[in-house]
Structures are given as C-alpha cells and as structure tokens.
Amino acid sequence: MRTRDGAPGRPGDERPAQSRTGTGGPGTEPADRAGTESADRAGTGRARRATEWGRAKYSDSWAEDLWRRLNAVDFLGQAIQLAATLLLCALPFMIITSALAGRPAVSTLMLRLGLNQQAAADFNHLFNSSAATSSAVTGLSWVFFILGGLASAGSIQRLYQRVFQLRGQARDPLRALVWLAVLVGWAALGTSAGPGIHAGAPVLWWIINVPAFMAFWWFTMWFLLGGRIPGRRLVPCAVATSTFWIGMLVVFHFTFSDMIISYDQKYGPIGVVLALMSFFIAIGVVITLGAVTGMMWRDRGLSFRAAVTRARRSS
C-alpha cells in the first residue's frame, strides 16, 4: 500500500521551516509593516510629548523673558554699533592715554587679556611707540582725543537709556565727561598698580577686581542715567554685568592671542583690527546682556536662595 506523499519520517520529504511556521514568507509582510508603523507612531508620539513638555517649560520662563527683552532692545545690533564706536573712538583714546602715562597700549592689553609675546608683537606693529604718540598729541589732537572719549561715553549712555526704556532723555555731555574722567583715573590706577599685584599675587588681584568691577558698573549705570533708576534696583544689573565681564576676560585670556596670530597670518595687519572688533562686539554684548539680565532677575523676584530651595525640593 502506497503511503501519502509528505508522510512524517520519510527521508528528504521535510517541508521548509518557514512554510510550517508562517514566518518570512509573503504572508508576513503586512505584519512586519504594521510593526514598523506602530514603532514609528510610538516614536512620533514621544517626540511630540517631549516637544510639548519643552514648550510648556519654556513658556513664561525666565529664559523666554530674557530672550524677549533682548529682542526688544535689538541687543546684537546695539552691540555691533557700540563696537564700531569703540573701535573708532575708544581705541585711539586708550592708545593716547597709555602713551601719556608712559606705557604702551600693548602692555595694557597684555595685562587685561594675557597676550603672549607673538600676539603682542603682531599687535604692536599697528602703533607707534608711546614716546612718538605722546609727542604727536598737540593742539587739535587734544580736541579729537576728548571728543573721541565723549563719543564712546555717549554711546554707552544711549545704550543704557534704551535698555532701561528711558524715553525723552537727551544726551548729557557733562555726565559723559565726568564718567570719562573717572574711567581714565580708574584705568590709570589699574595700569600702575595692577601689574605688580597680578605678578605677585594673582588671586589677590582677582579678589580686588571682582568687587571693583561691580562698583564700577553700578556707578556707570546710575551716573550715566542721571539717577533716574534707583540705585538698589541697579545692583542685580551691576552683579550680572561684572559676572559676564569677568567671564569675557577669562575666555579672551585663553583665545585672544591665538585669534590675533591667526588673523594676522591670514589677513595681515587688518586681521588684528578684526580681532579687536570681535573683542569690542563682546563688550557690547556683555553691557547689554548684563543690564537686561539684572532687570529680568529683579522684576521676576529671582534669588539664589530661592533657586537652591527649589533644587532641594525637586531632589
């Protein structure tokens, strides 16, 4: 009696495993596609939930408030305008001031920004010696010298008026002139006493400079704005500005020498001017960001104690 084809145990007559199990054949494609679509939907849902969570956290947060305030004052445009004014007016003022004090401008930058010898040499190619510069300051040069300083002080004054939304306040040349004299005296004191303290006790140099920066920026805002903003309200702005200022100095301390050398090799002496322009733009950003951050910090009632308390509760 003949046995049926495919009877179990018959050699050479086993069916492929995929035919018996139903996996891997044509009939499994819809199941695979369904699994892939399900995984895609799950990933899309997770991304949507993450986006909604981030949007909810960002909405009405201090970060959104800070960004809205910065956009309102056009902080990047203001920083570039201030940088252009500083390059045209403050840089010659700094060079002549250093020359009249008997010190080259490069030594001041070497102290403040930590220029190495090669960067200082590239920078020094742009300027004459301090003796040649001081001898050139005669007659009409004094007029442009003072007008350049007043233009720089006036630019900072107008920037603060816009940041603090003081409408209708005109330019005040007298206050700008007094502030300029204070700045020159403060810079001269730092230039004369700073190198010795920085070389002998760098930690003490920073301990002295941190409260000095805070006091200087508080006085700058209060005085240039004519006392129209209460001094107590300006304290967070001064703290934020000095913090960003110190951070800027630290960053440029480690990067400015390489920037000057690289730009000088690529573009020649004009590259050093471009490096200086980037430094002045950073100054404009720091001044604007510090004032806006302090205003936001004060208006929202933020404090370090409250932040530490919230961190403890969340943990």
Confidence band (pLDDT; 50, 70, 90) for 22? very low
Stretch 2-30: mean pLDDT:
49
Stretch 94-118: mean pLDDT:
66
pLDDT at 17: 47
Separation of alpha carbons 40 and 138, rounded Å:
77
pLDDT at 221: 93
Tens-digit pLDDT profile for residues 121-160: 777 776 655 555 555 555 566 677 778 778 888 888 888 9
Confidence band (pLDDT; 50, 70, 90) for 19? very low
Exposure string (b/e) for 191-220, b if CB count within 10 Å is 16 or more?
beebbebbeeeeeebeebbeeebbebbbbb
Separation of alpha carbons 290 and 249, rounded Å:
14
pLDDT at 112: 66
Flag whether the pTM goes above 0.85: no
Q: Which residue has the tokens 């369904």?
A: 34
Tens-digit pLDDT profile for residues 69-89: 888 888 888 888 888 888 877
Separation of alpha carbons 137 and 145, rounded Å:
8
Residue 283 has pLDDT above 70, yes or no: yes
Token reading at 311: 């961190």
Separation of alpha carbons 66 and 242, rounded Å:
18
Q: In angstroms, what is the C-alpha Rg of the chain?
A: 32
Q: Which residue has the tokens 């010696």?
A: 129
Confidence band (pLDDT; 50, 70, 90) for 262? very high
Nearest-CA neighbor of 70 among 240, 204, 304?
240
Mean of all residue pLDDT scores within the chain? 74
Residue 178 has pLDDT above 60, yes or no: yes
Domain spans in the chain, listed from the N-terminal domain onward:
72-300
pLDDT at 189: 73
